Structure 1
Amino acid sequence: EKLEENASIKQTMQHTLKTQEGRKRYALRKQTIEPVFGIIKSVMGFRTFSLRGLEAVKGEWSLVCLAWNIKRMGSLRLK
């Protein structure tokens, strides 16, 4: 089945998940991305944004990512 040229994001994702290659690539999220969000939420305690507005939230998220990267670098150095 061919994807329409003007397909929405949702339709594109549905089409991707119908293929074996698409399912395989999507499954990689479980081992690469999702654990990071889990650690940020549970270990670092970041569950909600404190600021309002897109630019402020972008800045706050950048700080959270910076903290995660510093934490990760520290744990890798100890090995």
Structure 2
Amino acid sequence: MRPRKAARRRYAEQARHKARPDPLWDKSDNAKDARAAKKTRPYANTDFKQAEDGSHCTCPAGKRLYRNGGECTINGYAATKYSGAEGDCVPCAERHRCLRTPDKTKVRQVAFFRGKRDGNESHTDRMKRRIDSDQGKQMIAARFATVEPVFGNLRHNKRLDRFTLRGRTKVDGQWKLYCMVHNIEKLGHHGYAN
């Protein structure tokens, strides 16, 4: 076989491959600019506006997101979390810019950070501060008149200083029995039995 014929046969299908687009077409500057223009920036927390009273925040589409909980700590920072309503977020036209995975996530959640929380203060210290406040003192005073006498009666007069049964349902039954005896005794002492 002559070398020229072999070369022709070898490169006969070359035209078919030349018709394909350049494999490096997306590496050019024009293609990068086109992709950047097509891809939109997702909404950040700064695009959401928090109400002055902190009860809600407003998304870029004008819908309200409501607080889901009070004080929360995220990575040592004090934050307020908001969550959208499913009826507002699911049909929203801005959903693709608002959520990272719109096909999996139903509603948007946003957190506004207020600064680093003091790491030295424990839950016990915060509870002590809360009880020592004026409102806490009122709550404790009301508790002494409403709840504590019941516990004192059950513990000392009825001698319920420990549960004799094991298991949540059995302990619940024993507790309800003692509470029922306490309530019947209270009715009897106040003249309802006469």
TM-score (norm 2): 0.34
Equivalent of residue 166 in structure 2, options 52, 56, 59 = 52
Determine if the alignment matches structure 1 residue 6 to structure 2 residue 120.
no
Determine if the alignment matches structure 1 residue 65 to structure 2 residue 179.
yes
RMSD: 2.6
The answer for unaligned runs of 5 or more in structure 2 is 1-69, 74-121
* Displacement after TM superposition at 1:15 (Å): 4.4
* Displacement after TM superposition at 1:10 (Å): 4.5
Q: Which one has the bigger helix percentage?
A: 1
Determine if the alignment matches structure 1 residue 43 to structure 2 residue 157.
yes
Q: Which has the bigger relative contact order, CA under 8 A and spacing at least 6?
A: 1
Determine if the alignment matches structure 1 residue 77 to structure 2 residue 191.
yes
Whole-angstrom CA distance in 2 between matches of 1:9 and 1:56: 32
Question: Residue 67 and residue 54 in structure 1: after superposition, are their counterparts in 2 closer, same or farther (change >3 A)?
Answer: same
In the alignment, residue 188 of structure 2 is paired with which amino acid?
A: G
Rg bigger for which structure?
2
Equivalent of residue 31 in structure 1, options 122, 132, 145 = 145
Question: Residue 67 and residue 12 in structure 1: after superposition, are their counterparts in 2 closer, same or farther (change >3 A)?
Answer: farther
* Displacement after TM superposition at 1:16 (Å): 2.4
Q: Which one has the bigger strand percentage?
A: 2
* Displacement after TM superposition at 1:14 (Å): 3.4
Whole-angstrom CA distance in 2 between matches of 1:6 and 1:54: 31
Deviations 1:6-62 (A, max 9, x none): 269756633421421122112222222111111112222222111111121111100
In the alignment, residue 187 of structure 2 is paired with which amino acid?
A: M
Residue 171 of structure 2: SS of its match in structure 1? helix
